[in-house]
Amino acid sequence: MSAVLAVADHRRGELRDVSFELLTAGRELADDLDGELHVAVIGGDVESFADKLDRDGVDVVHTVDEGEEFNHDVYVQAVEALCGEIDATAILAPNSVNGLDYAPAVANGLSIPLVTDAVALEYEDGLEVTREMYGSKVETTVEVDADRFFVTIRSGEWPATEDRGDASLEPFEFDLDESAVGSRVTGFEEVGEGDVDISDADVLVSIGRGIEEEENLEIVEALADALDATLAASRPVVDNGWLPKNRQVGQSGKVVTPEVYIAVGISGAVQHVAGMKGAKTIVAINTDPNAPIFDIADYGIVDDLFEVVPELTEQFS
């Protein structure tokens, strides 16, 4: 019988939400393959994680009691050993920072193809993966011509599996080759603490790459002042050092849920959207009518921000 092996993500004692989305994707693929869904949780409090991962559709949860936190060498060895043990047809993992830190190594080591950042999966005679290219401007389907494969899935694309299950819980032991562990996590740091907490704001004016130059920030600052709003930004603005990290909204920044989010010159890359899609009302101002930000916006203006923003500021002054 075919087996799908889904590898959960956790950090600092918490399973990450995408792990429960992974269960849904894994169950669907296992159904297509007429097979079982096996889930692996590696490191940390594996007993408690396994209990939480015992959800509807999961056949077996394998606990690998090795270390407290993610270490890619341990993950690589554990996943490869477990994959051999259960003869997995498919390995699934989140397309997270840690997922991308071991999935390519496992796929390379097992000589199986890897497809990253999947937004949909279908298996009939073979695997077909839907993914985006060119900064989300196009979707593509990729056919995988192989009997076994590794796929990483994008968070937010599958619903989380919530209902309890009746999986068997099985500790998995393997001989860790300590000499092959060549990296050591020495700590974690929270970044972006500062005077302003954008996750507390009711109204955010957020600025993106469209602002072009640091000097141009003034016009957005003026709008934020006029609206009594807090200024936030997408990644490129922070990368350029124009605003501090504590203003960054997105996957690697803060998750915000304001009443009103005004996205100015932000295209709406998936990493940004992950941080702000929970806003109650989303307004987008962008010159590109096809920018993905308009897919989630409630109100939009397709025009040059340098024309629109001063006019809008004027309305509130």
Binding residues among 61-80 for other proteins as defined by CB under 8 A: 70, 72, 76
Which of 83, 115, 201, 273 is the binder for other proteins (CB under 8 A)?
115
One-letter amino acid of 42: I
Cα 249 to Cα 44: distance, rounded to the nearest angstrom? 29
Interface with other proteins by CB under 8 A: which range of 28-36, 53-61, 90-98, 156-164? 90-98
* Residues in CB range of 308: below 8 A, 6 or more apart: 285, 301
Cα 276 to Cα 296: distance, rounded to the nearest angstrom? 10
User: What's the min distance (Å) between Cβ of 34 and other proteins?
Assistant: 22
Q: Which is nearer to other proteins, 56 or 128 (CB)?
A: 128
Helix (H) or strand (E) holding 101: helix 99-110
Which of 43, 57, 210, 253 is the binder for other proteins (CB under 8 A)?
253
Which of 47, 84, 177, 183 is the binder for other proteins (CB under 8 A)?
183
Q: Which is nearer to other proteins, 116 or 161 (CB)?
A: 116
Residues 20-49 that bind other proteins (CB under 8 A): none
CB 64 within 8 A of CB 77: no
Residues 276-305 that bind other proteins (CB under 8 A): 281, 283-284, 287-290, 294-304
Q: Which is nearer to other proteins, 169 or 277 (CB)?
A: 277
Cα 25 to Cα 191: distance, rounded to the nearest angstrom? 32
CB 202 within 8 A of CB 260: yes
* Residues in CB range of 167: below 8 A, 6 or more apart: 39, 53, 54, 55, 58, 59, 60, 61
Residues 139-158 that bind other proteins (CB under 8 A): 139-146, 149
Q: Does residue 234 touch other proteins according to CB under 8 A?
A: no
Interface with other proteins by CB under 8 A: which range of 33-41, 46-54, 109-117, 214-222? 109-117
